A and B are shown apart, each in its own frame.
Chain A
Amino acid sequence: MLFELNKIILAYPKPQGRVMVFKELDLTIDEKEFVAIVGPSGCGKSTLLRIIGGLILPTAGRVLYNGVPQHGVNSECAMVFQSFALFPWFTVRENVELALEAMGVNGRGRRTRAESYIDRVGLGGSEDAYPRELSGGMKQRAGLARALAVEPKVLLMDEPFSALDALTTIALREEVLRIWEDKEFSVQTVIMVTHIIEEAVELADRVVVLSSRPGRIVDDLRIDLPRPRDKRQQPFIEYVDRIFSKLA
């Protein structure tokens, strides 16, 4: 078991009382899984992703990574954000290098490694471009290159396609699947938050459905369909319907 979340409680103080985001939430994730977390808006799915990555510490409960309690940021995870989270005053290469610098990778090796990952996500030729010059798809490729360059075992993706147009989304979904399946990349496990049910069923091995706040798991569904998955086929539609019925 890669991640084990035990009785996670997350509560925020508010003037009118406490907001309970999670109340004793349990979740396990195995190595090499592609897990999608879905749920209604505001249910805490992005927060859950940050708890898994150690970016947010729960109020109570614990997160085990490979059986060891996690007390802070998990260095074997990297995150891809909906809004790309690129520094606008840095070029693509500098954005990727910055992540490596934070890891202590210095000298020529840093530049070579940054360029290698920029190339591998199809952004070779745009190393010196600033984020404002790039299309949404290219920005997210830069976000992917930055995440992959730190050679994480786990890729955490928070609504990675929701700021992109439909055609770019199709191209990038394929890219993410390729990265997950490609042994040349370090990524073994992908955990993705999305509000698009079809996207979850199209990509994931497993879909975890969260309820409205306080978030609890109302379904945990294994998607037993071969890839590439055809959205128009009845089994696909049945999975989507089942998830929608849990959310309704």
Chain B
Amino acid sequence: MPTIEPLPHAMSSQIIGLLEALHDRGGRDDIYKLAKELNLELGDLMAAIRGGELFEFATTPGGDVELTDLGKKLLRARTPGKKKLFLAQMKKVPLFIQLQQLLEQAPGKRLDKERVLEELTKWLPDEDTAQQFETAINWARYAELFGYDQDTGDCYLPEE
């Protein structure tokens, strides 16, 4: 099983916002300067940058953050295209690979939230599991990888 890394706590719209901000600045900027200009806590900006890196939309050469070609492609795409690119990249992330497999094997392709939280705790014992869950659901809903029904407390794979 590939190593499961924690997800940076940044929402999908924050990652896209970061890419838009970089695009407005010619595709690359100094991280510290960007935080100052956008009046952002460095930690919040770093979470979005790490999200961008995880999906290969951005890289961080020498204290800067730079759009990749894939990041530029994402910005050019309309909403459905953006979601497709997000989905393709998410499917390479070990945490989502594992979650998707669990859901595939679950009866009715549905899993109780508690079970998902248990798995997250097993994979990432030092992390804030609730926060990991929140981020995973935000990204999964955006990319339509899987859904979460608060009424039943189930995560579920969308119908084919």
- The answer to whether B138 and A135 have CB atoms under 8 Å apart is yes
Q: How many of chain A's residues touch chain B, expressed as a range? A: 20 to 34
- Asked if B18 CB lies within 8 Å of chain A CBs, one says yes
Chain A nearest CB: distance from B8 CB in Å?
Answer: 12
- Asked if A133 CB lies within 8 Å of chain B CBs, one says yes
The interface bits of chain A over 140-166 (1 if a CB of B lies within 8 angstroms of the residue's CB, else 0) are 010000000000000000000000011
- The answer to whether B142 and A125 have CB atoms under 8 Å apart is yes
Closest B residue to A141 using CB positions: B13
Within 8 A of B (CB), among A223-239: 228, 230-231
- The answer to whether B24 and A130 have CB atoms under 8 Å apart is no
Within 8 A of A (CB), among B103-151: 137-138, 140-144, 147-151
Alpha-carbon separation in the docked complex, A130 to B150 (Å): 8
Number of interface residues of B (CB under 8 A): 36
Q: Which of A122, A166, A172 contacts B38 (CB 8 A)?
A: A166
Given the known interface contacts A122-B79, A167-B21, A167-B40, the answer about A135 and B144 at a Cβ–Cβ threshold of 8 Å is no
CB-defined contacts of A230 to chain B, threshold 8 Å:
24
Given the known interface contacts A137-B11, A169-B17, the answer about A231 and B150 at a Cβ–Cβ threshold of 8 Å is no
CB-defined contacts of B24 to chain A, threshold 8 Å:
170, 228, 230-231
- Asked if B39 CB lies within 8 Å of chain A CBs, one says yes
- Asked if A129 CB lies within 8 Å of chain B CBs, one says yes
Given the known interface contacts A171-B20, A228-B24, A230-B24, the answer about A129 and B14 at a Cβ–Cβ threshold of 8 Å is no
- Asked if A7 CB lies within 8 Å of chain B CBs, one says no
Within 8 A of B (CB), among A168-211: 168-172, 174, 178
Alpha-carbon separation in the docked complex, A88 to B12 (Å): 22
- Asked if A6 CB lies within 8 Å of chain B CBs, one says no
- Asked if B28 CB lies within 8 Å of chain A CBs, one says no
Q: Which of A133, A138, A167 contacts B18 (CB 8 A)?
A: A167
Q: Which of A133, A137, A178, A231 contacts B13 (CB 8 A)?
A: A137
Alpha-carbon separation in the docked complex, A230 to B37 (Å): 13
Chain A nearest CB: distance from B80 CB in Å?
Answer: 8
Closest A residue to B144 using CB positions: A125
CB-defined contacts of A169 to chain B, threshold 8 Å:
17
- Asked if B72 CB lies within 8 Å of chain A CBs, one says no
- Asked if B44 CB lies within 8 Å of chain A CBs, one says yes
- The answer to whether B16 and A125 have CB atoms under 8 Å apart is no
CB-defined contacts of B50 to chain A, threshold 8 Å:
none
CB-defined contacts of B16 to chain A, threshold 8 Å:
171
CB-defined contacts of B21 to chain A, threshold 8 Å:
167, 170
Chain B nearest CB: distance from A237 CB in Å?
Answer: 14
- The answer to whether A126 and B17 have CB atoms under 8 Å apart is no
Binding site for A on B (CB under 8 A): 10-11, 13-18, 20-21, 23-24, 38-40, 44-45, 48, 78-80, 82-83, 137-138, 140-144, 147-151, 158
Q: Offer 22 A-B interface pairs, CB within 8 angstroms, sorted by A.
A: A120-B79, A122-B79, A125-B141, A125-B144, A128-B147, A129-B141, A129-B148, A130-B150, A133-B148, A133-B150, A135-B13, A137-B14, A138-B11, A167-B10, A167-B13, A167-B21, A167-B48, A168-B13, A170-B24, A171-B20, A172-B17, A231-B24
- With A122-B83, A165-B40, A230-B24 given, name 18 new contacts (CB 8 A): A120-B79, A122-B79, A125-B143, A128-B149, A135-B11, A137-B14, A138-B13, A138-B138, A141-B13, A166-B17, A166-B39, A167-B13, A167-B17, A170-B20, A170-B24, A171-B17, A178-B78, A231-B24
Binding site for B on A (CB under 8 A): 119-122, 124-126, 128-130, 133, 135, 137-138, 141, 165-172, 174, 178, 228, 230-231
- Enumerate the 5 nearest inter-chain pairs by beta-carbon distance, A residue then B residue, closest first: A167-B17, A137-B13, A171-B17, A125-B144, A170-B17
